[in-house]
């Protein structure tokens, strides 16, 4: 008699359960903080404040939803704003 591993229900062989998260198609990331912004200026204090924490750290793009190019623009603008004394 062959030994097959079976679950308690008896019908299905034992194995990994399928994860519903793996089957779904990933959603496209859209930065709600940069919806209508084409160019990020270091003088735009109100916009840059959204991308900086209270400690003065730049928030990563995985949390903001910014694309790589947008994140680079944010990084450059925040650093220039720090030099000008607008941001911590």
Tens of pLDDT, residue by residue over 26-40, are: 666 667 777 788 888
Average pLDDT, the chain: 80
Q: How many domains does the chain have?
A: 1
Model's pTM, two decimal places?
A: 0.63
Q: Is residue 47 part of a domain?
A: yes
Q: Is residue 5 part of a domain?
A: no
Q: Is residue 59 part of a domain?
A: yes
Q: Return d(Cα 43, Cα 41) in angstroms, integer.
A: 5
CATH of the domain at 61: 4.10.640.10
Q: Is residue 55 part of a domain?
A: yes
pLDDT at site 53: 93
CA dihedral 47, 50, 51, 57 (to 10 degrees): 120
3-state helix, strand, coil in the chain (%, to 5): 40, 5, 60
In which domain, by residue range, is 55 found?
32-84
Assign 82 a pLDDT band (cuts: 50, 70, 90).
very high
pLDDT at site 60: 93
Q: Is residue 67 part of a domain?
A: yes
Higher pLDDT, 80 or 21: 80
């Amino acid at each position: 008699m062959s030994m097959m591993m079976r679950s308690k229900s008896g019908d299905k062989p034992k194995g990994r359960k399928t994860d519903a998260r793996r089957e779904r198609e990933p959603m496209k990331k859209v930065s709600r903080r940069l919806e209508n912004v084409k160019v990020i200026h270091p003088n735009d204090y109100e916009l840059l404040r959204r991308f900086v924490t209270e400690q003065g750290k730049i928030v990563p793009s995985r949390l903001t939803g910014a694309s790589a190019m947008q994140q680079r623009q944010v990084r450059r603008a925040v650093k220039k704003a720090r030099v000008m004394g607008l941001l911590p």
